[in-house]
Structure 1
Amino acid sequence: MRVRTPEPSAEQALDAVRGRSEDSRPLTGTLGGTEPGFGLIVNREALRPLLRALPERERRILCMRFFCYTQFFCTMTQNRIGPQLSLWQMQVSRLIVRTCARLRDRLMAEACG
């Protein structure tokens, strides 16, 4: 008669293997974790081609509003962006909202599809 024992989980299997450190810690104790800024890098890289595909004016508005180029051009307000592009603050606001919504929809479509 055979007795079936449950298969060990991957973590249990790794714990059974001893590491080569001086204190012989389990292998799982030597594995690193996820870097805190990793998600931000993944998001930026996913967004990069979508930003490049935007019309020049929309791309420029987003860059002026959310990104720093120099100490003088760092996350400008909508009131400061408007005169730079001959727009009113309300026009800048609406363009930002529409553009961000379109980018979000495209990112979600890529993630789901």
Structure 2
Amino acid sequence: MTLVSSEATDRQTSELPEVADPSQVAPRDARELSRRFFEQLTVLEEGTPEYQYVRNTLIEMNMSLVRFAAGRFRGREPEEMEDIVQTGMIGLIKAIDRFELSREAEFTSFAIPHIVGEIKRFFRDTTWAVHVPRRLQEARVHLARATEELRGRLGRTPTVKELSELMSLPEDEVWEARLAANGYNAASLDAAISTSEDGESVLQDFIGTQDTTLELVEDFHALAPLIADLADRDRQIIHLRFVEELTQDQIGEYLGVSQMHVSRLLSRTLARLREGLLTT
């Protein structure tokens, strides 16, 4: 890391644009500002007040990336969503500390995988691999204790009937608890699997496909502010066409205009959004 004098660092940080509230910076503005702040971060001495100011501003300016990534996991309890956002912030901070301008890549593209990866690790470490009803989660704990107790007494693995008697549960519920226990841990995609043809492969060779939609993450992030800048009617037409999935005829009937007029408005709006994406 290049070290410069205190006077020089003061001059460099003073040349940065003053951001009154970094957390309120629009995503498209944050992209350009972030590059300028990263340029300063590379020449500042770590641990100095100037370095901390630049780093903290970068974190606040890019909090929208965390909210965007956390949106993938919407529908959970409010308390859990708070944990998700906090975990995503850890991923953002790691991305800022590891990002290098020499990569010639947008920080957005670099940060999103770090944020999502951190959130997924949170789920892996703190939750069940698959959703299991709470009563079966509790039954699994009792089953584990009963199994250990009987194994100690009998010197062997207990039968379902023996577990049923000790736990005071019907045998079918003991079976359910055993099945539920399988949902607590998931096999690693790197787990080795023996095959008759080529000797050994890993689990990921046999399941899943490449998620091509990941390439659209940055486009969606850049598109949001462009849509927000549209006129109300244009934004409404976009919503009706691509969210409600109405036809142009149905949109025209809804708005009280002709299908041809809807077509012209839609083409003009899409052209504007396309141009905005290409110039951001």
2:238 aligned with 1:62, yes or no? yes
2:222 aligned with 1:43, yes or no? no
Report the counterpart of residue 29 of structure 1 in structure 2: none
Amino acid at match of 1:104: R
Report the counterpart of residue 77 of structure 1 in structure 2: 247
Amino acid at match of 1:54: L
Question: How do 1:86-97 and structure 2 match up within 5 A?
Answer: 86-97=256-267
Aligned-partner Cα distance in 2 for 1:78–1:35: 31
Report the counterpart of residue 101 of structure 1 in structure 2: 271
The 1:89–1:22 alpha-carbon spacing in structure 2 relative to 1, beyond 3 Å, is closer
The 1:87–1:22 alpha-carbon spacing in structure 2 relative to 1, beyond 3 Å, is closer
The 1:22–1:100 alpha-carbon spacing in structure 2 relative to 1, beyond 3 Å, is closer
Aligned-partner Cα distance in 2 for 1:57–1:75: 16
More helix, by proportion: 2
Q: Structure 2, unaligned stretches of length 5 or more?
A: 1-189, 193-209
Deviation beyond 6 Å, 4+ runs, structure 1: none
Aligned-partner Cα distance in 2 for 1:108–1:22: 42
Report the TM-score when normalising by structure 2: 0.25
The 1:22–1:104 alpha-carbon spacing in structure 2 relative to 1, beyond 3 Å, is closer
Aligned-partner Cα distance in 2 for 1:103–1:87: 23
The 1:22–1:98 alpha-carbon spacing in structure 2 relative to 1, beyond 3 Å, is closer
SS of match in other structure, 2:246 = coil
Deviations 1:6-44 (A, max 9, x none): xxxxxxxxxxxxxxx998xxxxxxxxxx74221222211
SS of match in other structure, 2:238 = helix
The 1:22–1:90 alpha-carbon spacing in structure 2 relative to 1, beyond 3 Å, is closer
- Identity, in percent, stands at 39
Amino acid at match of 2:255: L
Aligned-partner Cα distance in 2 for 1:22–1:82: 55
SS of match in other structure, 1:37 = helix
Root-mean-square deviation (CA), in Å? 2.0
Aligned-partner Cα distance in 1 for 2:251–2:229: 21
Higher relative contact order (CA 8 A, sep 6+): 1
